[in-house]
Chains A and B, each alone.
Chain A
């Protein structure tokens, strides 16, 4: 079996028990597959708590050691992925506090942060108050395809980078890493509702950035 397909199989959620068993048995292939898949994500998430990239890298590395040292005690009450990211956030938070960059993740910020510029809608007193002044137009084709062009990619990453840390953390875990809502609540210690509010704000802003970009290139 080539190692790539082994890696794909091992990381599938339904094979988690095999993966845990392989780690406990000291299987290097399993460890490397896990590291290749999640290390960049861990570093990315750590960056939301600690300022310096080198510290984020350090926190991620420490997280792997904690995983190895704790794997025998892992009981599978959460998924391995959630457990891994929980260890990371706990450590990153501690480091962040020491660096005095603690992010109040539970606060959702400005209650009035509209998804779309209020100017896009008809005012009160209009025949259709709150209706579009101009209908949004369909995006031609799939922006995913255009993403292959580096420019769009950089633009979206930049839009995400501009988000407040808690919105950035939620959209990163949900939409980039593919976590489900429960996992995100668990990892970031958010309520269901706050998770959704943060996700909504984050996605709305990225949509705006994409709209602008697609408007310019077409």
Chain B
């Protein structure tokens, strides 16, 4: 009953929610949260495939690396957020418009 499809559906929904979060939320940190959700969805996808399709552990390893990269990226992203706050005194994403026009 627990099939590959169910895991894929879960990862899909997670992915979409993550994208929605990225699009909707106005807090830059919230956007980073959305990014984490997306990455998790991808990792879940890999592990599910590793269990159901390929029967080896490549998916697991890849998920590990996804986690590593996500950590690194979260660190750097938050550093940027902090820098942004130091300049703009706010973390509202609409203030990040220096690329305007």
Same complex: no
